[in-house]
C-alpha cells in the first residue's frame, strides 16, 4: 500500500519568489512519483515524474522536483513564481506495477501574491 502527504493545503508566495510545495510518500516498493497541476474547472496536467534514474527531474513551466529516498520526499520547486502558477497541485504515487491506479495527496492550493 502507498500513501502521499502534502504539507500545507494552502501555500502563498509573492510573484517572483521561490515556490516550494512539499510531498512525502510511503510505499512498500520503489515508487513512481508524479506532480500534476489542476486549474479551476479543468483536468489534471502532468508537470513532471520520477520513475528511475536521475533523482532531479525537470518538468514543464520551470518546475522541478528531487526524489530523496532517505527522506521519502518528492518536493516540487520553482525558482520564480508567476501569477499563472496559481492552481491546485497534486503529488501522486504508484507502484509502477503496470496499470495500477495513482494514489494522490490531498493537494496544495498555490496562491501568488502580486
Partner 1 sequence: AAGVIQSPRHLIKEKRETATLKCYPIPRHDTVYWYQQGPGQDPQFLISFYEKMQSDKGSIPDRFSAQQFSDYHSELNMSSLELGDSALYFCASSLTSGGADQETQYFGPGTRLLVL
Residue 10 Cβ, how far from partner 1 at the closest point, in Å?
12
Residue ranges in contact with partner 1 by CB under 8 A: 32, 34, 36, 42-46, 49, 51, 90, 94, 96, 98-107
Residue 14 Cβ, how far from partner 1 at the closest point, in Å?
25
Find residue 40's DSSP bridge partners: none
Residue placing its CB nearer to partner 1 in the complex, 58 or 80: 58
Residue placing its CB nearer to partner 1 in the complex, 36 or 74: 36
Selection from 44, 22, 49, 45 nearest residue 34 by Cα = 49
- In the 8-state DSSP scheme, what is residue 30? P
Alpha carbon distances (Å) from 87 to 1, 55, 63: 28, 25, 13
Amino acid at each position: 500500500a502507498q500513501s502521499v502527504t502534502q504539507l500545507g493545503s494552502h501555500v502563498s508566495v509573492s510573484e517572483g519568489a521561490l515556490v516550494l510545495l512539499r510531498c512525502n510518500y510511503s510505499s512498500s516498493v520503489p515508487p513512481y512519483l508524479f506532480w500534476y497541476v489542476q486549474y479551476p474547472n479543468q483536468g489534471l496536467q502532468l508537470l513532471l515524474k520520477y520513475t528511475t534514474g536521475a533523482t532531479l527531474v525537470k518538468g514543464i513551466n520551470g518546475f522541478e522536483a528531487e526524489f530523496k529516498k532517505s527522506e521519502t520526499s518528492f518536493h516540487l520547486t520553482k525558482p520564480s513564481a508567476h501569477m499563472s502558477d496559481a492552481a491546485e497541485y497534486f503529488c501522486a504515487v504508484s507502484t509502477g506495477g503496470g496499470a495500477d491506479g495513482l494514489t494522490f495527496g490531498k493537494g496544495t492550493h498555490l496562491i501568488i501574491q502580486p
